[in-house]
Amino acid sequence: MGRALSDRFQGCLLGLAVGDALGAPVEGMSEVEIIGLHGRITELSGGGGWALGEYTDDTSMMLAIARSIAALGRFSPEDVAERFLEWFEAGAKGIGHTTFVALNEMRSGVPWRQAGQNAHRLLREKSAGNGSLMRSAPVALLHHRDPEWMVKDTLNSSIITH
């Protein structure tokens, strides 16, 4: 990969982390609530249980995928699931309910291919979160020239928890 492309990939991941940290203190608020409390958010801040510049579970999981791909040179759902579980067991902060249930299933011995499906069933089919979308960039960057593999690996990344 050329230096320019590498810089763009790094910029993509850094931009995601900064955007996540920018929005962390207002996570879960409606647009009206945010405007009423803060107006337009243009600087990093703390609040809502988040320290200044701290990013959420979405970035933590995105970084787990990026680190896995960097270590292996490919996407491995088994390795990603292990990294998610290590992060979870280390005291993941701000974890979404669907992801919590899925990773708890994995902690109980459920294979990664089944954990997200179990969470969906246990949550009575109310597990339609956006968490797996929030962490999809590393897989998209890996397969930027191969849309077929991009879709396949993005789906495998998603079914771990959703």
Domain span at residue 97 reads 56-159
Residue 123, domain member (yes or no): yes
Structural domain contains residue 115: yes
**Does 21 fall in a domain?**
no
Q: How far is CA 146 from the centre of its chain?
A: 22
Does residue 38 lie in a domain region? Answer: no
0.85 exceeded by pTM: yes
What is the tally of structural domains in the chain? Answer: 1
Residue range 16-38, pLDDT digits in tens: 999 999 999 998 899 999 999 98
Q: What is the pLDDT of residue 91?
A: 94
SS (H, E, C) 98-120: HHHHHHHHHHCCCCHHHHHHHHH
Residue type, 115: A
User: 87 lies in a domain?
Assistant: yes
Q: pLDDT tens digit string along 26-73?
A: 988 999 999 999 899 999 999 989 999 999 999 999 999 999 999 999
Whole-number percent of the chain with pLDDT over 70 = 97
- Is the pLDDT score of 125 beyond 80? no
Question: In this structure, is residue 14 part of a structural domain?
Answer: no
Residue 24 falls inside a structural domain: no
Count of CA atoms in the C-beta half-sphere (13 A) of 5 = 7
